[in-house]
A and B are shown apart, each in its own frame.
Chain A
Amino acid sequence: MSTPRTIVEKIWDSHVVAQQPGAPALLFIDLHLAHEVTSPQAFQELRERGLKVRRPDLTIATMDHSTPTTSRDLPVLDKSGAAQLAQMEKNCTDFGIRLYNRMSDHQGIVHVIGPEQGLTQPGMTIVCGDSHTATHGAFGALAFGIGTSQVGHVLATQCLLQTPSETYEIRVDGALRPGVSAKDIILAIIAKIGIGGGTGTVIEYTGSAIRALSMEERMTICNMSIEGGARAGLVAPDDTTYQYIAGREFAPKGAEWDAAVARWKQLPTDAGAKYSRTLVLDANELEPMVTFGTNPGMGIPISAHIPDPANVSDPIEKSDLIKALKYMDLKPGAPMAGQKIDVVFVGSCTNSRISDLRAAAAVIKGRKVSPNVRMLVVPGSQQVKKQAEAEGLDKVFRDAGADFREAGCSMCLAMNGDELTPGQYSVSTSNRNFEGRQGKGGRTFLASPQTAAASAIMGVVTDVRTL
């Protein structure tokens, strides 16, 4: 009998092209996703070296990061953003790559469109010049973010030089209580392990609470693996996975589908396989989570109080907390709920899928956004937007006074003109609360779509369970 292996080891083993002594393995990449911000210098490198794209059939490109979310009838006003989008068109044309441009019905955030179109499948290796590539791990794929040099490597060779990572099991058992979401699970995990806690590992999320989640909820969890420092995060595929993929544009069909499912069923971690570490959480104990500080590990339950540096002994940790609270202009010991806010952002590759919009709309319906709050709802893709409109969610948001926009990364990283002004506070369903992430001087409270919607109505950080 062969040695029991984790799902990560199985995917790794089936993708090693070559392994020279003293060098990293040459790992084959099944799917490469590209966007306008981290790819131009890689295409330039290919031009300078006179290289072609080895497998144009395995790269899909879209526009999301510097793409406006205003009406598509309007031109791109920002000159450098427009130049980046034009360069993406040229690169994809010159190298024969399929591009979902700003006018395409398939345009959207790179990590939303992959799964949506059935491109993302179990057992694949998937990379993108974007740290949130682990989103695709929800399907039992080994998916991770890469730098621009590596984007060039994949374009030219369809491979990457890689060394294997340890597998870190994070098991979440039990059942979520009402008002608590997948976002709260991952924020609680990051608060527990810290933002460097998963460095050097690939996280496999296991346990009954994870199994009970929909594919979109699993994507929310895997998406933020990088916020715990991990290279990647994944969930072994099961019937929920297969049901989600079946019938999508790029999903296998007919006999190929049956063969694919049979193959995918071999992927889950074998009994007796060894994880380098295991962390266990009880879903029953979780509350809605909110971050108070300037990294995603600075999260607390919404009923908790803002930590006091006086209670921290480690000197650097203490000075980091003081620095974070100074930037956020928050008082130690003050309750998290009730903090005043100016903006609510529902969107990003973490929480912009149809189920996220439904969750926010369910809270908003029949209510009004506080007059002191600007609320932006930014669907993750044109397909999500279309579905939301078919269900009347756009009307729910607009009737409440929220802005319902075109698809893109938007205020998650504030590259496209959607941004906070200095000093403003947002409740954001995105993934990073770093200083200035949502606009220079802006301050971010990360939370779930439910918490964001409740906060939009009340004008302060609000526990959705109290509405």
Chain B
Amino acid sequence: MKFEQLESKTVVIPVDNIDTDQIIPARYLKSISKDGLGDGLFRDWRYNADGTPKADFPLNKPEAKGAQILVSGDNFGCGSSREHAPWALTQAGFRAVVSTSFADIFKGNSLKNGLLPIVVPADIHKELLASPGAILRVDLPGQKLMLSDGRAVDFPLDAFSKECLIEGIDELGYMLKQAPAITAFEATRIGSINTLQ
């Protein structure tokens, strides 16, 4: 899926260190496919024990419907390496998450699934946390997050991930094209690593 521009209102979960067990609890990991994870997103924060939705959870509020940008506290996506976390977020309609920092594995997993992790400075983050529903625009080629009042905030992104998102480049396809280099490398290592057979 190609990604260039995105305009959406935000939904805000003002909690630091949101771990992947909250994003998608382990009991949803027993599937052998990627599908059907949207229902499990923030499951135990969204629903009471009897299965009724918690009215005060940000994602359950009527105004959150259709939001494609999630604003969260610091260090979003820490914990488990489960790629089910970005799968669940994208299946629930999210295309970007804004925070001051992201856990490394979650960040990598997100970029491989068309979910853009946007790192903003602390002062901007504070403003965004305080204004749920704000309309933001993401300009990926320009690496800018445009705020509702017209200010543009630069965000970091490595050049390769950016190109993959914009051009819809398939990373595995890119790697497979380097097979001759891999073969040459393997030849230099015979005898220096143990094959397991």
Within 8 A of A (CB), among B6-36: 14-17, 19, 21-22, 25-27, 29-34
- Distance in Å: Cβ of A64 to nearest Cβ of chain B: 13
B160, A44: Cβ atoms closer than 8 Å: no
Nearest A residue to B102 via CB reads A199
Contact with B along A66-104 (1 / 0, CB 8 A): 100000000000101101100100000000001000000
User: With the chains together, A306 CA to B172 CA distance in Å?
Assistant: 48
B185, A17: Cβ atoms closer than 8 Å: yes
A121, B194: Cβ atoms closer than 8 Å: yes
User: Of A22, A37, A156, A199, which contacts B75 at CB under 8 A?
Assistant: A199
With A28-B185, A57-B195, A147-B109 given, is the CB distance from A199 to B103 under 8 Å?
Answer: yes
Interface membership of B190, Cβ < 8 A: no
Nearest A residue to B180 via CB reads A18
With A157-B175, A432-B79, A436-B25 given, is the CB distance from A146 to B105 under 8 Å?
Answer: yes
Nearest B residue to A155 via CB reads B172
For chain A, give the interface size range: 35 or more
B196, A440: Cβ atoms closer than 8 Å: no
Nearest B residue to A98 via CB reads B196
Interface membership of A323, Cβ < 8 A: yes
User: Of B22, B81, B112, B113, which contacts A129 at CB under 8 A?
Assistant: B81
With A149-B113, A319-B14 given, is the CB distance from A131 to B79 under 8 Å?
Answer: yes
**Residues of the A chain whose Cβ atoms lie less than 8 Å from the Cβ of B189:** 28
B172, A153: Cβ atoms closer than 8 Å: yes
User: Of B29, B30, B105, which contacts A131 at CB under 8 A?
Assistant: B105
Contact with B along A124-154 (1 / 0, CB 8 A): 1000011100000000000001111110110
User: Of A30, A51, A320, which contacts B16 at CB under 8 A?
Assistant: A320
Stretch of A158-166, A172-180, A349-357, A394-402 contacting B (4+ beta carbons < 8 Å): A158-166
Within 8 A of A (CB), among B55-88: 73-75, 78-83
User: Of A44, A149, A256, which contacts B33 at CB under 8 A?
Assistant: A44
Interface membership of A265, Cβ < 8 A: no
- Distance in Å: Cβ of A418 to nearest Cβ of chain B: 12
Interface membership of B104, Cβ < 8 A: yes
Within 8 A of B (CB), among A15-44: 17-18, 22-24, 26, 28, 30-31, 37-38, 40-41, 44
Q: Using A156-B175, A437-B21 as known contacts, list a sample of 20 further A-B pairs with CB atoms less than 8 Å apart, ordered by residue number in A.
A: A22-B160, A26-B178, A31-B196, A40-B33, A54-B182, A57-B196, A65-B29, A66-B30, A83-B32, A149-B171, A150-B112, A156-B172, A156-B176, A157-B175, A159-B182, A161-B175, A226-B105, A295-B78, A320-B17, A437-B26
Give the 10 A-B CB pairs with smallest separation, nearest first: A196-B75, A147-B109, A40-B32, A80-B30, A147-B83, A145-B81, A131-B81, A148-B83, A18-B181, A17-B185
In the complex, 28 of the A-B residue pairs with CB atoms within 8 angstroms, ordered by the A residue number, are A18-B178, A26-B182, A28-B182, A38-B29, A38-B81, A38-B83, A80-B30, A80-B31, A129-B81, A156-B176, A157-B172, A159-B175, A159-B182, A196-B75, A199-B75, A199-B103, A229-B78, A231-B105, A316-B73, A316-B74, A323-B15, A415-B26, A434-B19, A434-B22, A434-B79, A435-B44, A436-B22, A440-B27
